[in-house]
Chain A
Amino acid sequence: MAASDETAVTPAATATGADGPASALVEGTLLQVTGLQAGYGSKQVVFDVSLNVGAGEIVGIVGHNGAGKTTTLNTIFGILRPRGGQVVYRGENIAGRTCHKNVLAGMTLVPSEQFVFTDLSVAENLQLGALWTPPSKRPELLESVYQIFPVIKDNLKMRAGQFSGGQQRMLSIGMALMADPKFMLFDEPSLGLAPAVTIRVFDTLRQLVNERGISVLILEQNMPQLLRVVDRVYVMRSGRIAGEETVDQLRAREHYWDIF
């Protein structure tokens, strides 16, 4: 059940200011969420969530369907306004700030479903990802995306909807990278992907973090895949954080039934 360690990419040590791109790093915590509450209309879904993500860390959130993981992510990112609690990003209180501003501050969100613009071409999707990126940075970002995902480079004119599920997922990550992010939020990136594709995607993610010092927050239900890349994991149930475990603690477990 647990992934064999030899194939897992080893987590990088927390990047220091000297190694990574200067713009990506704030010493210590990148994101600090305290007592978050959120919901839709009369339905409160997140009752009390506190978590943090450090610079250059990959942090996971796991939990059953409906535990409030997506709602938490959306509230941090700015799609939803929180009903209570604090969200501090790079030292700034961003609770309730618009997604637009958060994207400008280096956050990107890759949703769990419908994560590309299917009716637009692959190239246009990338252009949209780079909407707020300074034009001078775009060529090098584009090159790096082509290198990581050659299938994108080979099919620029194609309608994104004609890509397979895995290819669309890769495109969605490409789009996120075009925004030159400091902090990436992923909502169930393995959903609907074949295991081999998921491995590749997650390995790429780990590589990016190691190279660029990006911080990542991933929501997942696929435990073994997640454990290949994360540093630590929060467990959510019924709108609250039920616990926090390191990768080693999780790998030592026999099962996860009591978490979900």
Chain B
Amino acid sequence: MATAALPFTVANLEQQLSTGLVSGTGYALVAVGFGLIITVTGRFHIAYGATYALSAFIAGQTGLSWGMPFWASLVFGVLVAVVIAGLMESLVYWPLNRRLGAAALMTIFIASLGLSTAGSNLIALLWNGSGGSVNISGFSVSTVHFLDVFTTNLAITSFITGWVALLAVAAVIRYTKLGRMIRAVRVNQRLSLAIGINPRVVYLMVFALGTALGAVGAVFTAAESTATSDMGSTPILYAITVSFIAGGAAPLVVALVAVGVGLLESLSIFVFQPQWSQVVVFAALLIYVLAKVVSENLGARRTVKPVTPASTPAGAVEGASSLCS
């Protein structure tokens, strides 16, 4: 195999740790956001990658066209992404769910695939004039040097903002009434209907929170380089990886697993050449799923139940969707 790309020194280790933590925070945002959606609503919302990219493009464009300052563009980009995700849920997913009941999961995934493809191509088309990419302006980047680590103020800001967002969402879920409702729907949809929770509202809120997290990450990622229409494809695949490995755990646990993935990626550079970093992550996913296969087959003959997603969306609870909307 290839010789190590980087010679191992403490300085390099610290540098790679720093890189891994920052990128890991970005992955945490997507993983927690995507994971929230799939565990509470059961929907495999692969179009998450499209709203992810969209927020970066909107943030960049508002900075460009309207001269919005960085933070305002960020908020605006996040809001637009949240609205689009909300539309996907209410115009596409929910009606399908209502119509198909328990058989909806695969169909919703297919619809999401369609939305994802259409979405990223639409973004590329709309910004075709500017070469299909947009830069985030408004953040003057400067290098920061501490210990033996070279980083930027942008990276540090993205780290801090990311964790503020993650902690905020975790707090909402843990301590607020909405959070209780979300957890209730995730744990026992039937019962949540029985106590009068409106699943439609909860689903929309979950889509909003989940999309917003990813959107924040997208803007910072784009700020570090540029926004491209396919920038969502790797993050969503990482999000899927983390979601399935972390299972239905609490948001902060999922976030930590995602940071772990970021570190795995950045530290793999000591063993593999850089082009292998991504493969290492996907290989981890593959090994995990294979381990699941082996353990399920060694145990009693049972059907393999997915750990993460709610097994039937609330709308599928015996025709509930037609009523409790």
- Physical contact A–B (CB less than 8 Å): yes
B101 in contact (CB, < 8 A):
yes
Within 8 A of B (CB), among A106-141: 108-111, 114-120, 124, 127-129, 131-132
Please determine whether A120 and B191 come into contact, CB atoms closer than 8 angstroms: no
Given the known interface contacts A116-B191, A117-B188, A120-B180, the answer about A131 and B196 at a Cβ–Cβ threshold of 8 Å is yes
Given the known interface contacts A79-B194, A131-B195, the answer about A117 and B324 at a Cβ–Cβ threshold of 8 Å is no
In the assembly, what is the distance between CA of A99 and CA of B180, in Å?
18
Q: Considering residues A97, A108, A131, which has the most beta carbons from chain B within 10 angstroms of its beta carbon?
A: A131
Q: Give the Cβ gap from A162 to chain B, nearest Cβ, in Å.
A: 14
B90 in contact (CB, < 8 A):
no
Within 8 A of A (CB), among B299-318: 317-318
In the assembly, what is the distance between CA of A132 and CA of B325, in Å?
17
In the assembly, what is the distance between CA of A11 and CA of B323, in Å?
35
Who on chain B is nearest to A113 by CB?
B190
Please determine whether B324 and A120 come into contact, CB atoms closer than 8 angstroms: no
B43 in contact (CB, < 8 A):
no
Within 8 A of B (CB), among A162-201: 175, 179
A to B contact number (C-beta, < 8 Å):
89
Residues of B within 8 A of A111 (CB): 190-191, 194
In the assembly, what is the distance between CA of A109 and CA of B191, in Å?
9
Residues of B within 8 A of A118 (CB): 187-188
Please determine whether A79 and B324 come into contact, CB atoms closer than 8 angstroms: yes
In the assembly, what is the distance between CA of A98 and CA of B201, in Å?
13
Given the known interface contacts A80-B323, A81-B319, A81-B323, the answer about A104 and B183 at a Cβ–Cβ threshold of 8 Å is no
Residues of A within 8 A of B188 (CB): 114, 117-118
B17 in contact (CB, < 8 A):
no
1/0 contact string of A32-53 vs chain B (CB within 8 Å): 0000000011000000000000
Please determine whether A124 and B180 come into contact, CB atoms closer than 8 angstroms: yes
Interface size on B, as a range, is: 20 to 34
In the assembly, what is the distance between CA of A179 and CA of B197, in Å?
12
Who on chain B is nearest to A97 by CB?
B323
Q: Give the Cβ gap from A134 to chain B, nearest Cβ, in Å.
A: 14
| B196 interface neighbour in A40, A81, A102, Cβ under 8 Å | A102
Q: Give the Cβ gap from A66 to chain B, nearest Cβ, in Å.
A: 15
| A100 interface neighbour in B191, B317, B322, B324, Cβ under 8 Å | B324
Residues of A within 8 A of B319 (CB): 40-41, 79-81
Residues of B within 8 A of A210 (CB): none
Q: Give the Cβ gap from A114 to chain B, nearest Cβ, in Å.
A: 6
Please determine whether A131 and B177 come into contact, CB atoms closer than 8 angstroms: yes
A103 in contact (CB, < 8 A):
yes
| B195 interface neighbour in A40, A78, A97, A128, Cβ under 8 Å | A128
| B324 interface neighbour in A98, A129, A131, Cβ under 8 Å | A98
Please determine whether A100 and B196 come into contact, CB atoms closer than 8 angstroms: yes
B320 in contact (CB, < 8 A):
yes
Who on chain A is nearest to B186 by CB?
A119
Please determine whether A40 and B194 come into contact, CB atoms closer than 8 angstroms: no
Please determine whether A74 and B318 come into contact, CB atoms closer than 8 angstroms: yes
Given the known interface contacts A79-B193, A79-B318, the answer about A131 and B181 at a Cβ–Cβ threshold of 8 Å is yes
Residues of A within 8 A of B75 (CB): none
Please determine whether B191 and A99 come into contact, CB atoms closer than 8 angstroms: no
Q: Give the Cβ gap from A240 to chain B, nearest Cβ, in Å.
A: 20
Given the known interface contacts A78-B323, A81-B323, A96-B323, the answer about A131 and B197 at a Cβ–Cβ threshold of 8 Å is yes
Within 8 A of B (CB), among A210-256: none
Q: Considering residues A100, A111, A115, A132, which has the most beta carbons from chain B within 10 angstroms of its beta carbon?
A: A100
B277 in contact (CB, < 8 A):
no
In the assembly, what is the distance between CA of A80 and CA of B324, in Å?
9
Please determine whether A103 and B195 come into contact, CB atoms closer than 8 angstroms: yes
Residues of B within 8 A of A202 (CB): none
A77 in contact (CB, < 8 A):
yes
Residues of A within 8 A of B121 (CB): none
Residues of A within 8 A of B193 (CB): 79, 99
1/0 contact string of A54-84 vs chain B (CB within 8 Å): 0000000000000000000010011111000
B184 in contact (CB, < 8 A):
yes
In the assembly, what is the distance between CA of A212 and CA of B267, in Å?
66
Given the known interface contacts A79-B320, A79-B323, A100-B324, the answer about A117 and B191 at a Cβ–Cβ threshold of 8 Å is yes
B107 in contact (CB, < 8 A):
no
Please determine whether A128 and B181 come into contact, CB atoms closer than 8 angstroms: yes
In the assembly, what is the distance between CA of A80 and CA of B319, in Å?
6
Residues of A within 8 A of B197 (CB): 100, 131
Please determine whether A100 and B180 come into contact, CB atoms closer than 8 angstroms: no
In the assembly, what is the distance between CA of A209 and CA of B155, in Å?
63
Q: Report B's interface with A, CB cutoff 8 A.
A: 101, 177, 180-181, 183-184, 187-188, 190-198, 317-320, 322-325
- Between-chain CB contacts (< 8 Å), 30 pairs: A40-B318, A40-B319, A41-B101, A77-B194, A78-B323, A79-B317, A79-B320, A79-B324, A80-B319, A80-B323, A97-B323, A98-B198, A99-B193, A99-B196, A99-B320, A99-B324, A100-B198, A103-B195, A104-B196, A108-B194, A111-B191, A115-B191, A117-B184, A120-B183, A120-B187, A127-B180, A128-B184, A128-B195, A131-B177, A132-B196
Question: Given A116-B191, A129-B195, list of 17 further CB < 8 A pairs?
Answer: A41-B101, A41-B319, A79-B194, A79-B320, A79-B324, A80-B318, A98-B325, A99-B196, A99-B324, A108-B194, A114-B190, A117-B192, A118-B188, A120-B184, A124-B183, A128-B184, A131-B177
